[in-house]
Structure 1
């Protein structure tokens, strides 16, 4: 276990597969092929892992505003957690939820953040993801785990998330940093493969989420995580966004690992911001 239970290694998880206090979630997903993750899970997954789909489980229904991946209703996700056997209270002790994907934490970090948002601090991501597990030679299975009966009661943390009104009101304030987690070409407006408008929210600085991990999907060392955020360490509030509030969670995970607790998610992100703009960029 490393970084105060925020990250676990494949070796640690292998040793704790039979621990009743550990629940595993497979979060593999592809934005360009939404059924890919489910298909990969059916082919083979970590023993005992439950599959949580980005669109079905980790997002709520689409609306005119709110972005492409609105937050799921807390009660709905809590019911899923309960069926996975998660406990949120002290008796029995809180369950450790371990999330993994195969996309440099893009989707596992979303679950990591959501669990914290629902008030469950015992959640970690698998360093290196599914590939690291396979590389270590550990077994996978196609057998589906049985649903269980946990007891998960959400303790919502509304201070973890902001909406567009808060972004507009806070982004120019002293002590507030607005962070765009998308790749640099999207931040600069040179490419926009998804949303109708290219560019970024005025005043935002760019910290691409892909830089949190190395080319193999392993988290970069603690010293590098801390150095990455050194320029924002004194900020009173760090608001992070991406395209739809998913990969921004990788930056929020990095901030937490670096010991910075002022990060908040603009859940609707650029796709929500665009929904209030005309194609010309006018409000």
Structure 2
């Protein structure tokens, strides 16, 4: 997880970010440009094919921006951490149902604005908190002929439950402290990447400045923790594999060097 350190181009957005199996550890590749759009084409496209990791605004049919890539990246981050898809729905209803069960319902101003909202929600005149209510699986099945299915390996009622998936119990006390703090920062970052309202979602630049990426929260125990040192080593590998020319970056402008965002330990901390 420590190995993502690249900003997203300002020229385009991908709309679908997914993992691939490759033989180059700690290097991120973006492939499958069939769904990539120039930012000038942003909008609400109701006929586009859906995919796992779709942002709520895509499912609801709300005009969208490059913030949909941040949602996809957040889903990918959680999936890499879990070893399974966070929201693996076989249709958009299931994906929305999983999102709501884990993160709550999108706010009314999004649902009211959504072109596709009535496909998944119905008006709720009895509620004092929301104008909309998600259709039940049986109701959705009756109306569409599509049978909702449970395909999740992990069923969460909060993204905070990501913290309980892995057992952190290294022998070294400093490693334990570092891993616990790193997990906390990772989940905090994922929660910001998966904000239901795109306007509240973290930006690529803010991700690079997040504590999980800069590692400022664990830099002070560099000398005592093998885990922290390995994180910095991985960062070095990532930086060494970053594109160094326009040709390597598919002609897109190169971004600010990754190491500029790192919080380096004090010089004395490097001595072991």
| Structure 2 length-normalised TM | 0.27
Q: Which one has the bigger helix percentage?
A: 2
- Structure showing greater radius of gyration is 2
